[in-house]
Amino acid sequence: MSSPTISSSTSSLPPWRSIISGALHRNRSLPASRYLQLATVDQRGRPANRTVVFRGWRDPESQLQFVTDGRSALRESAGTSKAEEIAKNPWAEVCWYFPKTREQFRIAGKLQLIDARSTDGQPERQAAWNQMSEAGKVQFYWPLPGAIRTMEDFGEHELTLAPAADFCLLLLSPLMVDRLELRGNPQSRSRYCLLDNQEWSIESINP
Ligand SMILES: Cc1cc2nc3c(=O)[nH]c(=O)nc-3n(C[C@H](O)[C@H](O)[C@H](O)COP(=O)(O)O)c2cc1C
């Protein structure tokens, strides 16, 4: 059995980063190629999955950036905020399929939520807010997500330079990346794992 290749440089970008960036580039004609599924585990230990938009990388760690509303999703873990949920269980996995190049990336790692109270990451949170469209910003002033719909208060809102109070930047720090390429027979599959010494191992595995 062959031993895994070790990506030797700890200072450069992780070895999977240019591969995902390449997939993003080759699929750029498809706006939906920036949508991916983010799975978490709720406080009952059950899976929770939703589509989110990839909002770019946060370097130097190559974290994936998303934006989200920090208010409770009112699942069975109602009463706790997203920040509390993530603090209790930060583990998550995204599943990202690129239709044009027919490749799937599953990226597992830990989440970090940057909300209005966070001491770290406010410049990035502000930058993410600046990049939102007006229609996207206004949603952060709408009534509580997931609550029973009673009022029709989904109109316009005066927008400020500062992010809405519930606007959060969500960061995923990858620890494992599994890439499956459907093109070819047999298909190709590789696994990248972050080792304790912060180097990445790369293995070609059976599809
Ligand atoms: C195409 C698409 C893109 C979406 N993008 C986001 C996003 O970037 N951030 C987000 O919080 N929710 C996004 N949503 C909504 C989520 O999928 C989900 O419905 C919402 O966040 C509530 O999920 P929760 O109960 O887990 O909080 C998107 C939905 C779709 C269909």
Q: Whose CA is nearest to atom 27 of ligand 1?
A: 73
Q: Which of 52, 55, 66, 139 to mutate to test the pocket of ligand 1 (most atoms within 8 A of CB)?
A: 52
Q: Is the CB of 67 under 6 A from ligand 1?
A: yes
Q: Tell me what pLDDT residue 78 has.
A: 55
pLDDT of residue 44: 87
Q: Name every residue whose Cβ is closer than 8 Å to that of residue 179 and which is 6 or more positions away in sequence.
A: 16, 19, 103, 104, 105, 189, 190, 191, 192
CB atoms within 10 A of CB 106: 18
User: Looking at residue 95, what is its pLDDT?
Assistant: 98
Residue bearing the CA closest to ligand 1, atom 23: 50
Place of tokens 């080759």: 26
**pLDDT tens string for the chain (207 positions)?**
567 787 754 558 999 999 999 999 999 999 999 999 999 998 889 999 999 999 999 999 999 999 999 986 545 455 567 888 899 999 999 999 999 999 999 999 999 999 999 999 999 999 999 999 999 999 999 988 888 888 777 877 888 899 999 999 999 999 999 999 999 999 999 999 999 999 999 999 999
Q: What is the Å distance from ligand 1's center to 138 Cα? A: 15
Spans of all domains in the chain = 14-117+167-205
The pair of three-digit structure tokens given for residue 148, joined into one six-digit string: 């029973």
Best CA proximity match to 25, nearest among 93, 86, 100, 83: 100
Give me the architecture of the 14-117+167-205 domain, per CATH: Roll (2.30)
51 lines ligand 1 (CB under 6 A): yes
The predicted structure's pLDDT at residue 118? 95
Asked if 86 and 112 touch (Cβ cutoff 8 Å), the reply is yes
Q: How far is CA 165 from CA 66, 85, 141, in A?
A: 16, 18, 9
Query: What pLDDT is attached to residue 8?
Result: 53
Helix (H, G, I), strand (E, B) or coil at 206: coil
Residue 195 Cα to ligand 1 middle (Å): 31
Residue of minimum CA distance from atom 6 in ligand 1: 52
Which residue minimizes the CA distance to atom 18 of ligand 1?
Answer: 50
> 73: Cβ below 6 Å to ligand 1?
yes
